[in-house]
A and B are shown apart, each in its own frame.
Chain A
């Protein structure tokens, strides 16, 4: 990629400010706590029951992909831009000769990177701990977690530009929609980032090891569509962002 193009989608200074803002806040504790919990559970299960493919699928699918990835996505996605807009400090980014889409794309890249680092990587490690990648379950879930990280980051980044209550709204989506409705109402599953990502895992894992409610082309297509549309719309929100002042 040419340097000029790289500069259009990624501004290192915006990235540094975003990263420090994300990891420097108190919320960042969740970023460390959840993966630590996953690894602890994986290690405990392995020690107590030994390697087992079904248990691995249950832990990675039921906790890692269904709960941890969306929660990390909420923290990273909403934290990448929402707080700056809420407290007004985003002015210092906007009052610069930097295209606003560049700001949004950079923040999306950082949010995705943080989500992958704190959810997909621990998912892979937990999978290796649980059954040593038997039936390629660890890799399958890690890839699914990575794909979901991208979509969640874009979705929750957008949420942070739309509402001051982005964290709450994100948590409601992640916990109620993805975890609760997804397990109760079959129809909700086809409209779930988690299921779309699972379509990738289904393909990668050994036949029959992992199952998804949506097919691979549809799952990947929807993941890509949600990411692109959310990123574009977040850019629009920022382009038209007005600071009404205190009056």
Chain B
């Protein structure tokens, strides 16, 4: 049991379409589900986890329908985004309860807690845990039955860099063991560090699929806009427009700044400081003016 297949799936809530005719297959290894907030990532994960029925289309695990079939939980482990767990229990009690619900002995719970390195705090109440500790205990609860598919909804939210690295190592290990690991994120860097395979969703639609390098290139090759202030805007503008990496420059008199549109991101970022230095111009402000995720993603959809 290793492949989750989403086939022409749509899901709407009243008049709002959350997921729009999406098809994808998630196989063994680590896959990142990338998209801005509100793109439909959670809706997709909830359908893969059997917590939401698709309005149309099918979601299957190795051709078994997921919705309404509690037997699939023998193969799927779920790490929900929401914080709430049974806070009045200790970590060990919580994971042991999860093991028992799978019909497994306490040893399974201890093994899962060891996997996430939480043994040292397993006798403390969950209500005293930090966000990262909670996340790891959630992981342990999902791993207790050694599932072949692991679904994680925004697992890195609120984690500090060290906890993030630990979890990434763990997920990499799970992926290399041949498990299907799917996690959602709205942060490109997270996905890039961890997932060899990326599925991008934007506004409920499947925007891109494949190798992260290809998607990264799509994202970095898009036109970038910068707001630049310098000691001599016009001289800088003249020097920049001479290079093919610059597509257009506007002198914004009211703002006292240049609005630069660059086509070749890599080349432009090297060019700008070099040109400034060669002409003895001092750069005062260089700020990207459309670096919002929305604009990055909407470019991807158009591509």
Contact = CB atoms under 8 A, between A and B. Distances in A.
Contacts of B52: 242-245
A99 B101 CA distance: 11
A100 B101 CA distance: 12
B101 A21 contact: no
A148 to B, nearest CB: 29
Interface residues of A, number: 30
| Among A14, A92, A100: residue with most chain B CB under 10 A | A92
Given A17-B86, A244-B13, A99 B70 contact: yes
A154 B208 CA distance: 49
A4 to B, nearest CB: 13
Nearest to B87: A89
B97 interface: yes
A94 interface: yes
A93 interface: yes
A238 to B, nearest CB: 11
Interface in A1-40: 11-14, 16-17, 20-21, 24
A97 B42 contact: no
Contacts, number: 91
Contact of A98 (B43, B50, B70): B70
B98 interface: yes
B40 interface: yes
Interface in B24-53: 37-38, 40-43, 45-46, 49-53
A97 B103 CA distance: 9
A92 B84 CA distance: 10
Interface string B97-133: 1101111000000000000000000000000000000
B82 A88 contact: yes
A96 B86 contact: no
Contacts of B89: 17, 20
Contact of A89 (B41, B71, B76, B84): B84
Nearest to A243: B51
Interface in A197-247: 239, 241-247
Contacts of A12: 100
13 contacts: A13-B100, A13-B101, A16-B97, A17-B97, A91-B80, A94-B51, A96-B101, A100-B70, A241-B51, A243-B80, A244-B46, A245-B153, A247-B41
Interface of B: 13, 18, 37-38, 40-43, 45-46, 49-53, 68, 70-71, 73-74, 76-78, 80-82, 84-86, 88-89, 97-98, 100-103, 141, 153
